Amino acid sequence: MSAVTSRGVIPRQRVTRRHGQLTPRDTPVLVRDVMDTQVTPVHPDTPLPEVRAAVLATWHRVVPVVDNGRLVGVVSATDLLRERVRSATVAETAADLMNPPTALTPHTTCVEAARLMLSATETALPVVHEGGTLAAMVSVEDLLQAL
């Protein structure tokens, strides 16, 4: 809430909530501060019915596809819907339907992540460690709460 003084309105200070207390935000919020580590990936050879169940089981509506622990793609609810309404079904596994991943790192700022998410028109993006192994997911909602 802004305060009014004899000189006018004092702008609201940006704050962040840490451990139940509000503290001034003097450093940018990083993806590692808001990412969801409770992610269940699928494998490239996972059949589409299982991929569909995994997508519907997560509120992200995007499932990462990993091979030997490394992120190789993502499948979204939109991808599955697009496949369902095709006149001829082509895809049988996650590998047939997955898209190349646009991934973040835990050290990406939330502002950078939001810009990337908007340019990629995605609702959630995977987060990877330096070696390319899956770390977490970040959603539009996560970023909206952080910014």
**Domains of the chain from N-terminus onward:** 31-146 (3.10.580.10)
Gap between the Cα atoms of 40 and 115, Å rounded: 25
Q: What is the pLDDT of residues 61-75, one digit of tens each?
A: 899 999 998 999 999
The predicted pLDDT at position 2 comes to 42
The predicted pLDDT at position 18 comes to 52
The predicted pLDDT at position 10 comes to 42
Question: 42: Cβ–Cβ under 8 A, 6 or more apart, which residues?
Answer: 50, 51, 54, 63, 64, 65, 66, 75, 94
The predicted pLDDT at position 8 comes to 45
Gap between the Cα atoms of 132 and 70, Å rounded: 5
Rounded average pLDDT per 10-residue block, the chain, 147 residues: 44 48 66 91 95 90 93 93 82 92 92 90 89 92 88
How many other CB atoms are found less than 10 A from the CB of residue 140?
16
The predicted pLDDT at position 122 comes to 81
24-27 contact pairs (CB < 8 A, 24+) = none
Note the pTM of the prediction, 2 decimals: 0.76
Strands (E) in 50-141, as ranges, are: 62-67, 70-76, 124-128, 134-139
